[in-house]
Copies of this chain bind each other. A is one copy, B any other.
Amino acid sequence: MVEIRKPIQMAEAVERVMSHVHKLGTEMLLLEDTYGRVLAEPIIAKHDVPPFDRSPYDGFAIRAADSAGASGDARKSFQVIGEIGAGHVADRSIEEGESYRIMTGALIPEQADAVVMLEQTVENEKGFTLRKPFEAGENISRQGEDAKKGERLVEAGTVIHPGTIALLATFGYSQVRVAKRPIAGVLSTGTELLDVADGLVPGKIRNSNGPMIRAQLTRMGVESKSYGMMEDDLDACTEIVERALQETDFLITTGGVSVGDYDYLPAIYERLGAEVLFNKVAMRPGSVTTVAVLGEKLLFGLSGNPSACFTGFELFTRPAILSMMGCTAPFMPRIQAKLGDDFKKANPFTRFVRASWSMTSEGIVATPAGFNKSSAVSSIARGNCIIVLPSGTRGFEKGMTVDVLLLGAEQGVERWEL
């Protein structure tokens, strides 16, 4: 007797996974090690940026009032009383008719309130002359114009990218509190699987899901432990899963979640007392994708079909991992594009089509990456995005507008919208 599973909708499946995410703790890291981590605390400006009025150019710092009335016929003269290099400070404030030679980034001396660019002057023995008046504040980078002390600049839950690091450096964060990263367990099932280094034999194929999933984790900076390929024995399998759950923060299995005689995962979930959140999703590929939870740990039972496995990871596992780290925008960013090719298959379920997008003279075009069965592997290699075709449709024609999820993007979005 075949077990009949009732599919749930994608949005509901995503919600069930995300609501069972257990947040990891935090740790302090050296600034240089924080790229790709998630901020555990907001970045609040510790001081004004810039921290003082400074010169944006090489030039002369003057009192603007002293240039009043300057013209081509009545040039105003200024005496240069010294030089202020970047990082240095003036010996004294300036007085009427005086100026300092000042370098880019240097602190504006007291009483000065404008900077004259070199090319606006004619230099002479004692200093220079000007042919136009300057206004107070002209050519000055004002203290706090970029950020004010106490301003909340970046929220906790943000993934740290190079710009975030520049800001952290500005405020002197040589160490940064970030979310811990989870350690993933990866376990492939399937009696047909060979190791990558093995020669082909009839009826067998090499395990591509294991290396692929580990690369999907590497792309996120997440370490994984491989538990190899599962033996054809329910007791042994259960033991491996138990051990993996002790040693890691969550487990990804590939294969074994269908309703076939050798699909052990449902039995293992039952033996371990894991709560199955769903075992059928109204999606193609990967309708058999199963997610269970045991204590604080999620068990992602991805399909053994490569395309389904890949898609299941990106749709469920990736946002869950980011959420474990407190990331507030854990979902793939979406754009809209024109479909580059007919896609005539009907969609009783939401369909996720591996595709490649590019900018063309007709706008953004996303084209299915060739052979698109759930068992396909070549289309995963060729794709850089996933086209999402809603359920209940009879096929799509070239040129129609479709939703596209970007793979391998650094930014994310807060909500699952499809």
Contact = CB atoms under 8 A, between A and B. Distances in A.
B43 A166 contact: no
Given A119-B2, A146-B375, A306-B166, A381 B43 contact: yes
A304 B203 contact: no
Contacts of A410: 219, 384, 407-409
Interface string A11-23: 0000000000000
Query: Which of A105, A192, A383 is most buried by chain B, counting CB atoms within 10 A of its CB?
Result: A105
A295 interface: no
Most-contacted residue by chain B among A47, A165, A306 (CB, 10 A)? A165
A52 interface: yes
Q: Tell me how many chains of this kind the complex includes.
A: 2
Interface stretch (A125-133, A319-327, A332-340, A387-395): A332-340
B197 A172 contact: yes
A93 interface: no
A115 interface: no
Contacts of A72: none
A192 B86 contact: yes
Given A407-B410, A410-B384, A162 B207 contact: no
Interface in A156-213: 161-174, 190-193, 196-200, 202-213
Contact of A202 (B89, B192, B207, B335): B89
A56 interface: yes
A154 interface: yes
B381 A153 contact: yes
Given A190-B86, A218-B35, A335-B359, A380 B167 contact: yes
A214 B32 contact: yes
Nearest to A314: B162
Nearest to A164: B381
B212 A166 contact: yes
Contacts of A216: 162
Contacts of A277: none
Interface string A261-294: 1100000000000000000000000000000000
A211 B168 CA distance: 9
Given A146-B376, A192-B106, A196-B173, A215 B141 contact: no
Contact of A191 (B85, B167, B209): B85
Given A86-B191, A141-B373, A170-B208, 4 more contacts: A56-B375, A146-B377, A146-B379, A167-B381
Interface of A: 2, 31-32, 35-36, 43, 47, 49-52, 56, 58, 85-89, 103-107, 118-119, 141, 145-147, 153-154, 161-174, 190-193, 196-200, 202-216, 218-219, 258-262, 304, 306, 310, 333-336, 354, 358-359, 363-364, 371, 373, 375-384, 406-411, 413
